[in-house]
């Protein structure tokens, strides 16, 4: 066991995908002798609580504060959490959120060294007393490797990318067993996660419908999504198969993703969680966002990322800037290209 180098506070509040992409940084720090603490909000808490990548986790209930509107009570709670953090006497704080909502945590957490990156936005650079060169490199450096730049700054070897998740409970395993009791054991299983948050990230729904019709007889198909995705999933054929829309939390999704042979999905939190599970093969469809930043990282015989070749791709914008051909990127790749990728992996 290496001698402890010091105590580090990792400040990454959200979102789910970025919390997952920070897990290799936490593991790198811990495996090199640091005691790792993590400040996270509700969306990522279940992924970090009991995760072996950290020694201690703190919940910043940002979403609750937004909804409550009780400014005095929220501020009092914030100060209480901040007092707890300051009592830990951290040697280092690392802000990978790099926006306004992490600025105050970083600035006042009491850490002797507060490290931020030059690409910080919304004034977050003011939270640090050490500023490293930009961790971003356009669309050429995967976001996991961007976050690992903080470890490189501390002189650590970042060649090994280690992803961990908390263990799933017996109760969760039993629930997934029940939900999958209708699976045909003679068929391989494909999980379909066809929805995400940004409109330009969504593959055309008629493409999905054709893909499902061509896969349905050969494979067990399982559909996952939020309650808001129910209409889309019904349209593309999910009701004819095992439809788990709105029926699973993050821990249950984690267990589900350990059961399938392959997943077809978008640039979404579900994809990033499936990657973190490190078991299932993944075909990811990229429309407006760059695969170079967000595609599952690792073995090319396990992960395939597909995108179109329109001149505007990838724009990486929530709203399509192409006025003449609105959301043209969502029409590609073709159904045949996705099918070929599935065949190549499965």
Asked if residues 222 and 256 have their Cβ atoms less than 8 Å apart, the reply is: yes
pTM: 0.94
Overall CATH class of domain 170-345:
alpha beta
Pair of tokens at residue 202: 């969504």
Domain limits, the chain: 6-153, 170-345
Predicted confidence at residue 76, as pLDDT, reads 95
Q: Do the Cβ atoms of 165 and 254 come closer than 8 Å?
A: yes
Per-residue pLDDT of the chain (346 residues; tens, 9 = 90+): 445 789 999 999 999 999 999 999 999 999 999 999 999 999 899 999 999 999 999 999 999 999 988 899 999 999 999 999 999 999 999 999 999 999 999 999 999 999 999 999 999 999 999 999 999 988 889 999 999 999 999 999 999 999 999 999 999 999 999 999 999 999 999 999 999 999 999 999 999 999 999 998 899 999 999 999 999 999 999 999 999 999 999 999 999 999 999 999 999 999 999 999 999 999 999 999 999 999 999 988 999 999 998 888 999 999 998 888 889 999 999 999 999 999 999 8
The token duo for 191 is: 């999980």
Fold match, 6-153 / 170-345: yes
User: Residue 1 has what pLDDT?
Assistant: 41
Burial tier of 131 (Cβ tally within 10 Å: 0-12, 13-18, 19+): middle
Q: Which DSSP letter does residue 334 get?
A: -
CB contact at 8 A, 175 and 256? no
Helix (H/G/I), strand (E/B), else coil: 209: helix
Closest CA to 301 of 342, 271, 341, 345: 345
Give the separation between CA 127 and CA 102, rounded to whole angstroms. 8
What does 142-181 look like in DSSP terms, one character per residue? Answer: -HHHHHHHHHHHTT----S-----PPPPHHHHHHHHHHTT
Positive or negative, the CA dihedral 195, 199, 204, 205 is positive
Answer CATH for 6-153 from 3.40.50.2000, 1.10.10.10, 3.40.50.920, 3.80.10.10: 3.40.50.2000
Residue 324 pLDDT: 82
Bridge-partner residues for 117, per DSSP? 132
Q: Other C-beta atoms within 10 Å of 161: how many?
A: 16
Ordered alpha helix ranges (H), 94-134: 100-108
Q: What is the pLDDT of residue 157?
A: 97
> What is the spatial distance between Cα 110 and Cα 278, in angstroms, rounded to a whole number?
36
Cα separation, 208 vs 276, in Å, equals: 25
For the record, the structure tokens of 35 come out as 């005691």
DSSP character string of 259-278: T-SEEEEESSHHHHHHHHHT
């Amino acid at each position: 066991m290496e001698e402890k180098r010091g105590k580090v506070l990792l400040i990454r509040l959200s979102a789910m995908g970025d919390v997952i992409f920070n897990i290799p940084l936490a593991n790198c720090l811990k495996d090199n002798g640091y005691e790792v603490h993590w400040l996270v909000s509700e969306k990522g808490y279940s992924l970090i609580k009991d995760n072996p990548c950290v020694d201690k986790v703190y919940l910043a209930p940002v979403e609750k504060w937004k909804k409550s509107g009780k400014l005095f009570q929220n501020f009092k709670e914030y100060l209480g959490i901040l007092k707890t953090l300051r009592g830990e006497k951290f040697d280092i704080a690392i802000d990978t959120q790099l926006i306004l909502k992490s600025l105050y945590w970083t600035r006042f957490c009491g850490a002797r060294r507060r490290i931020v990156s030059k690409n910080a936005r919304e004034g977050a650079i003011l939270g640090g007393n050490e500023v490293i060169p930009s961790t971003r490199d356009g669309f050429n450096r995967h976001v996991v490797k961007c976050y690992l730049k903080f470890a490189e700054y501390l002189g650590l070897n970042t060649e090994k990318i280690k992803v961990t998740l908390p263990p799933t409970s017996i109760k969760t395993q039993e629930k997934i067993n029940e939900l999958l009791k209708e699976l045909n054991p003679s068929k391989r299983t494909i999980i379909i996660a066809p929805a995400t948050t940004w409109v330009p990230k969504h593959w055309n729904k008629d493409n999905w419908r054709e893909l499902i019709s061509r896969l349905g007889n050969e494979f067990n198909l399982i559909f996952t999504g939020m309650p808001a995705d129910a209409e889309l999933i019904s349209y593309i054929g999910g009701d004819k198969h095992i439809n788990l829309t709105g029926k699973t939390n993050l821990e249950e999704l984690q267990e589900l993703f350990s059961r399938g042979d392959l997943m077809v999905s978008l640039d979404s939190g579900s994809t990033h969680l499936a990657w973190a599970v490190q078991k299932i093969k993944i075909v990811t469809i990229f429309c407006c966002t760059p695969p170079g930043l967000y595609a599952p990282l690792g073995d090319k015989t396990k992960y395939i990322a597909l995108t179109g070749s329109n001149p505007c791709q990838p724009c990486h914008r929530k709203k399509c800037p192409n006025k003449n051909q609105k959301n043209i990127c969502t029409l590609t790749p073709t159904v045949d290209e996705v099918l070929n990728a599935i065949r190549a992996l499965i």
